[in-house]
Structure 1
């Protein structure tokens, strides 16, 4: 097994290579699809059909957008958390989907990316709905961990043999410092998710945003302390800006 890290539109992409198959650890942006396909067929010299499964750790544009496109156009299986309902359900959810797309475009501009099509459906039709501690179908050396907090359905992906843990957006590194994600929809669940990492044997953390590597137990504790006591949401953030403006 070999893990390749690619620089995506606004996030790191992790492609796991085996002699006869490939696994995409997260769904990336829709704009990243040509990059992933080119890397597989040209850099690796492998048939694109060997990409057998795409994990979706949560429904944000840089983690689900490419998965939806690849599923529709190349019939590649998609796996996600087995949670009731949908993250972007209802009118409020559809509005949040548009806000998240707008933020992805904003971050792309901050990264000096060319404007690209990031649109993806707000509801994903997963071929596999996975439970906590379940092994990834077709890739039984990887285990799914249910680690909510950023959203209500975040997944982390653990490979015990290589002591590798992909944490998606649960931990970010910005300007060399580890920070909590934004938003945090469930603060208590977020702190509990960080606690789940502590007893694992992890020699390499893979982060969707920022450089991974070793993260100590003390650093996990520091992140738990940084986590707010109440949900940090876009609505609350905008409300605080308005209150400051008119205070």
Structure 2
């Protein structure tokens, strides 16, 4: 088993190579589809050997390329049951547009040009998985349900090597490991982070931080920075309005 790390549009992409097939640990962005296909060809493998694609959550850099890659490869698309409803309704559609705009903003901050990243907010998975399930065709990889950033985040653990892909559970700001933005469900986020800490992983694979040795991660320090109230677009906007009206802030 080999884990290849590719530099995506704004995130790290992790492609697992095994003798019987390839596993993509996240659906990456729409802008990353060609890179993934070219990398697989460079390994001397056919794109149809991509057997499974996980979508850990619905944000543009994790779900944006999933449908296109499935169409090209025929892979099984896997996600949590709640992922399909994340962008539902008028509020969900607005959040989807905001998240695409935020992705372009992040890309600009790191010197990337604006790329085509629009994707459907309606995910159509082949299989939904819950906590403790193993991935189809890759039974050494176990699903760990780690909500908080959204209500449906998944982490994926390679049980034999104790390596865990945690997607956006931890990010880095000014050199320090911190919680992500947004944190939509603070209590769930704290439980998820503590759960990963309790697993005592040998290695953490993160979407926005280079791989980390488990012993080098100060989980308590990250937990100490976790918000007590939701931090997302809607709460931030609401608090700005309240401040403008003189009601003060409801966030710490």
Please give the TM-score of this superposition, normalised by the length of structure 1.
Answer: 0.94
Is contact 2:58–2:83 with CA below 8 Å preserved after alignment? no
Change in 2 beyond 3 A, CA 1:220/1:140: same
Whether the 8 Å CA contact 1:198–1:217 is kept in 2: the answer is no
CA-to-partner distance for each residue in 1:109-155, whole Å, 9 max, x for gaps? 11211221101100111101001010111100000001000000000
**1:178 Cα deviation (Å)?**
0.3
Q: Which residue of structure 2 lines up, in the alignment, with residue 100 of structure 1?
A: 99
- Structure 2 unpaired stretches of 5+: 247-252
Shift of 1:246: 7.1
Structure 1 position 76, deviation (Å): 2.1
Unmatched tracts of structure 1, length 5 or more: none
Q: Which residue of 1 aligns with 2:249?
A: none
Match of 1:198, SS state, is helix
Deviations 1:183-226 (A, max 9, x none): 11100000000111122141110010022212449721222221
1-structure distance, mates of 2:204, 2:217: 15
Q: TM-score, normalised by structure 2?
A: 0.92
Matched residues in 2 for 1:149 and 1:84: separation? 13
Indicate the residue corresponding to 1:233 in structure 2: 232
**What is the distance in 2 between the residues matched to 1:176 and 1:165?**
21
1:47 aligns with 2:49: no
Please list, as runs of the form range in 1=range in 2, the aligned pairs for 1:59-74 lying within 5 A after superposition: 59-74=58-73
Q: Structure 1: how far apart are the matches of 2:13 and 2:217?
A: 27
Distance of 2:238 and 2:218 partners within structure 1: 30
Please provide the CA RMSD for this pair: 1.7
Q: Which moved more, 1:76-85 or 1:195-204?
A: 76-85
Report the counterpart of residue 2 of structure 2 in structure 1: 2
1:136 aligns with 2:135: yes
Q: Do the aligned partners of residues 220 and 45 (structure 1) sit closer, same or farther apart at CA in structure 2, a change above 3 Å counting?
A: same
Return closer, same or farther for 1:9/1:217 CA change in 2, 3 Å cut-off: closer
Residue matched to 1:30: 30
Task: Decide which moves more: 112-121 or 25-34.
Answer: 112-121
- Cα deviation, residue 70, structure 1: 1.4
Question: Contact between 1:173 and 1:211, CA under 8 Å: does it hold in 2?
Answer: no
CA distance in 2, matches of 1:169, 1:84: 15
Q: Secondary structure at the match of 1:167?
A: strand
SS in 1 for 2:28: coil
Note the C-alpha offset of 1:31: 0.3
SS across alignment from 2:64:
helix
Once residues 175 and 45 of structure 1 are traced to their aligned partners in structure 2, the CA distance between those partners, rounded to angstroms, is 39
Which residue number in structure 1 is paired with residue 15 of structure 2? 15
For the residue of structure 2 that corresponds to 1:79, the secondary structure is strand
Sort the Cα spacing of 1:218 and 1:171 in 2 relative to 1 into closer, same or farther, 3 A: closer
Determine helix, strand or coil for the equivalent of 1:83: helix
Map 1:71-90 onto structure 2 (within 5 A): 71-83=70-82, 86-90=85-89
